[in-house]
Structure 1
Amino acid sequence: DIHALQTTINDHRTMINYLINNSMNATYVTNAISSHHSNTGPILTTWRELIDAFVITLCMGFFIYLLMCHAACSPSPASITPTPTPTQRIITPDSMRQTPNRPPAPTATIIEAILRNRNKQNELSTFPQFQARNQYELYLVNRTADTDALHHLIQLAQNVEYFTIDTEADLHPKQSSLIQVEFISQHISTIILVEVCRLPTDQQQLKFCLIKSIFKHIFQEKNTMYIWGDPIKELSTFVTYGLFTSDEFQIEKLVNMQHKFKKWFRRQHQFDPTGGNLWGLQPAFLLHMENFWIKPKH
């Protein structure tokens, strides 16, 4: 209070006067002042003084809290990474064009096979070209085939007992692609070219079921089929297309004409110019018929 403050001031003034007049030691005065302040704390006698002290303490604590939060949220120099600069891609009309899905470039082996086939065709073209001796009708069988035509082929397959079958594969990529079937008849032959890579995608569609039914009637036990090569090997590669199973073409009357021709030629000429190898269909046809038969490679 004010009275206590005045008393303290008077005591300090008295000690200063004694000190000036050399009637009191300086060390004594210093110890006296320190002792006075250490033993006498501030005396708050009113509620207003208590509230003021509390508010000041609260403000100082809040200020210290803000300083601590700011120090904790500030990123350290090591954690600061520069923001990547966005790159801009210039779109040109050429870049907007979609590149079509193209098959991989043919390998050197495939190119050599194509060149060999071309050279062979050039050599054989010097012979007379084969001409069919009887009339025939040709059907292309794929997902665009006419439904009525497929029903007609099913009816033919039910009434014919002799067939010839040949298969083809693409050179690039190496994939089975074509089944050629001839319905042998005395009046007019019917030839179907089944493009297995262009069949209906849904095997439950009517057209797919009709095409499958054609082969079901072809592979009957009563029928005889002539094929150039091993029948099982030739037809097994087409099982994955779903037109027939491996059990369906396991019939007794599958005739390997390649094997029969080899035995016939050896019996007729007493030697084998192939050295025991299998005869190709074109050389055999040329030797026996003296005609050139075109067999294109895909």
Structure 2
Amino acid sequence: MSELSGANSTATWPQLRVADWTDTRETLHMWTQVVGKIRLAHAPLLNHWWQVTLYVSPRGLTTSAIPYSDHLFDIEFDFLAHRLVIRADNGDTRTVALAPKSVAQFYTETMQALDELGFETRIQGRPNEVEVSIPFAEDTQHASYDPTSAQAFWRQLVHANRLLNEFRSGYTGKTSPVHFYWGAMDLAYTRFSGRTAPEHGGGAPHCADWVMVEGYSHELSSCGFWPGGGEEGAFYAYSYPEPDGYSERRLQVPGATYDPNLGEFVLPYETVRTADDPNAVVAEFLHETYAAAAELGHWDRSTLECDPHRWAQQRAAAPWSLR
């Protein structure tokens, strides 16, 4: 039976050891930076750099619509067909194969495809938030692509995206989309208290401090999934600024700990994957870590939170009213 058979079927959480796909992950990280910077070059600034991110799609990761003068285009990593697809609003399309190739080749082919479609683009030609920043046009070091690993990674993101969006539904305050930050290669979701935060000190490698100042301008509680930590990646949560007592908070969710080096709570992906109810484990982690930030930070929870099922009875009684 297909994993999609039946509305209540639970898809398998894929196993993907960090050590088994390091080369592919590092190459794909650079490819996502190229595509993210293309969006950055054209999209108007949104608070906290929300205009630069990618989103989980039914086939991979997408930019969503990017403005170009009075036109639109989008770019999607298709991890089912293993190709990068660039679509213009006039129906024209170009593709770049996702296959073992260098970042330099991927960069050249992608920029050429944009030129052919009439979307002339110039980007900052080197990656951010990595210790060694090799210009894209010169990067022949990263040249791996294992399609099975790339697809498993996307399946991890599908699960994380679903659960983060469910968690997002319980908040009426300022909240981010669930989106993929190509700088650190993580899927993230953030809640805000409504108060400004102390100026961030910066310090991310190959990233100007003022970039981090914009990202952390307001008090927040953030969570997400990162594929590069632990044995198989990890869910994470942190607060900025971190309130007193946050790191000492004892969580009830099994396997979750506070990592003082990261300044974050982490929940190993393998703990989730092997649990009897992975969805419940992640949900508990998200709610507990947010509660720690909100309670210790004295957030106005009664105003900021909501019941996502508040209209369930009315919808069940008259479902046609929403059509």
TM-score (norm 1): 0.23
**Of Structure 1 and Structure 2, which has the larger fraction of its residues in helix?**
1
**Of Structure 1 and Structure 2, which has the larger fraction of its residues in strand?**
2
**Structure with max Cα Rg:** 1
